[in-house]
Structure 1
Amino acid sequence: MRILTIIPARYASTRFPGKPLVDIGGKPMIIRVVERALAVCPDVIVATDDERIFSTVTERGYRAVKTSPEHQSGTERCLEAYQLLEEPADVLINLQGDEPFIADEQIRLLISAFDDPSVDLATLAQPFPSTATNEELANPNAVKLVRSTSTGYALYFSRSVIPYLRSVEGPWAKEHTFLKHIGLYAFRTHVLPTIQSLPASPLEESERLEQLRWLEAGLRIRVMLSDQESIGIDTPEDLKRLPL
């Protein structure tokens, strides 16, 4: 099974402009993500519409492609890059460019979802710690999800806290295991034309979460559970939490 990893990266982030090039321990964040991916997958490409990001990647000997600035999501950028590359693959991984501490084991866990031939689309989640405060659960930048305990497929993703604990007044995380989405997707390449053909959906536009477009269209997303913490960088404040 040939696996191709594409890392979408844009400079003009609303919450954190220039985020892919922020210095983390002496390296641009996008380079850290590339190196993490290469530890597991030999075929890794950055997809960007920005010359600064493109140059940062290629000057260090890594691969990058220039894509349109009009994309509304990272997956749209990955799909264009895949078409431009014209390299056959069985599985395409979309690794977000703001996951500089993604673990090798997490990438392997995602790939293992495809040991089941019925899985076409997969992602990762991790449990919030039982010490998480209600404020931490409610952070809209930490996307929550619920999954079927019998099939492992996602039921819904939200920026709100799901499920809602109606009769609990204290810290919710002590009463229920909430799941946090990790920004990593993988697709069998035969489903990419279907994904590319889907129009934006009402739930997607409400939550600003691209994966809701797929759920609304009836696609199933297998959720693999990781016991490792993943520190995504959404805002400048997130840099204060880095394990450096």
Structure 2
Amino acid sequence: MSTVIFIPARYASTRYPGKPLVELRGATGIAKTLIQRSWEAAKEVKGVDAIYVLTDDDRIAEAARGFGADVLMTSSDARNGTERCAEGAAQLPSPPDVIVNLQGDAPLTPPWFVEALVSAMEDPAVQMATPVLRCDAETLTNFVTDRQNGRVGGTTAVMRDDGQALYFSKEVLPYVGDLNNAPEVWHHVGVYAYRPQALSLYAAWPEGPLEKAEGLEQLRFLFNGAPVTCVPVEAPGRVFWELNNPVDVERIESVLKKENTA
């Protein structure tokens, strides 16, 4: 299957303005912007035909071209990464079989997460897929701590036994009353794989009330009755965390150093 990775990035983040250009230091002490580290993560994925940074901001575009990325300029009307991906897909000379949305705030995304998604798309019945990761003790503690301190951190997923998503939330679901005796919690990893026609449908649907309330773009699929396939992935010995708040810079830098990432 032909596969293209899009990395949507916007400057005007509500929670963290200018986030794509925030610098993160790795094991060598070298500082690289968040968008560059996300692009470098995308470059590690096997079997990809092209990678594009999607943005409506000249500062991000200039920075991305500076480290060698291909850039597609999208409109400021795009309300989320999936809408931005739909705009990017319309600019391609021909539609690929699969479009991957690797969000620009997830530089710790292992390449096999994306490869697992693309493999799931080999089933023609799957129109859209996203990875989920069983929370380890450290990640779950970070989730609960963030919510206790009024911060919106990562996203959790609730799904059926067959992997079809029931709901996604920025709350910790199911409820965790005791960290020492916690239920199974799945961390939603902010990566998506779509078929081009699924993106076209998404762009035509209005923003729904659940999507607005949670600030989670994937809920538009569920609200309109479109199935979302959750693909369980594993990251043994690794910590996965997105950059959602300033406090996450230190968390991600510690992982970069631990994994000896330059």
Q: Is this a same-fold pair by TM over 0.5?
A: yes
Distance change in 2, residues 1:117/1:137 (3 Å): farther
| 1:29 alignment counterpart | 34
Aligned-pair CA distance for 1:106: 1.1
The Cα shift of 1:201 comes to 0.9
Which of 229, 232, 236 is equivalent to 1:225?
Answer: 232
- What corresponds to 1:141 in structure 2? 153
Q: How does 1:181-196 map to 2 (within 5 A)?
A: 181-196=188-203
Secondary structure of the residue aligned to 1:27 is strand
The aligned counterpart of 1:211 is: 218
Secondary structure of 2:222's match?
A: helix
Equivalent residue letter for 2:38: V
Aligned 8 A contact 1:47 1:67 in 2: yes
**What TM-score does the superposition give when structure 2 sets the normalisation length?**
0.85
- Unaligned segments of structure 2, at least 5 residues: 26-30, 258-262
Change (3 A) 1:137 1:221: farther
Query: 2:222 is aligned with what amino acid?
Result: L
In the TM superposition, 1:88-237 aligns within 5 A as: 88-130=95-137, 132-133=140-141, 135-136=144-145, 138=147, 140-149=152-161, 151-164=162-175, 169-171=177-179, 174-228=181-235, 229-237=239-247
2:136 and 2:44 map into 1 onto residues whose CA distance is 28
Q: Can you list the C-alpha shifts for 1:45-85, whole angstroms capped at 9, x where unaligned? A: 00001111101111222200111112111111111111123
Aligned CA-pair RMSD? 1.7
Contact 1:130 1:174 in 2 (8 A): no
C-alpha spacing 1:174/1:112, structure 2 compared with 1 (3 Å)? farther
Shift of 1:137: 7.5
Paired letter, 1:18: G
Q: How many angstroms apart in 2 are the aligned matches of 1:137 and 1:9?
A: 24
| Corresponding residue pairs, total | 239
TM-score by length of 1: 0.91
Q: What is the Cα deviation at residue 190 of structure 1?
A: 2.3
Structure 1 residues 130 and 23: alpha-carbon distance in aligned structure 2, compared to 1, 3 A threshold: closer
2:54 equivalent to 1:43: no
Would the aligned equivalents of 1:7 and 1:45 in 2 still touch at CA under 8 Å? yes
Distance 1:234 1:210 in 2: 15
| SS of equivalent residue, structure 2 residue 242 | coil
Measured in 2, the distance between the counterparts of 1:62 and 1:211 equals 26
C-alpha contact (below 8 Å) 1:46/1:63 kept by paired residues: yes
Aligned counterparts of 1:189 and 1:67: Cα–Cα separation in 2: 17
2:87 paired with 1:80: yes
Tell me the percent identity: 36
Equivalent residue number for residue 67 of structure 1: 74
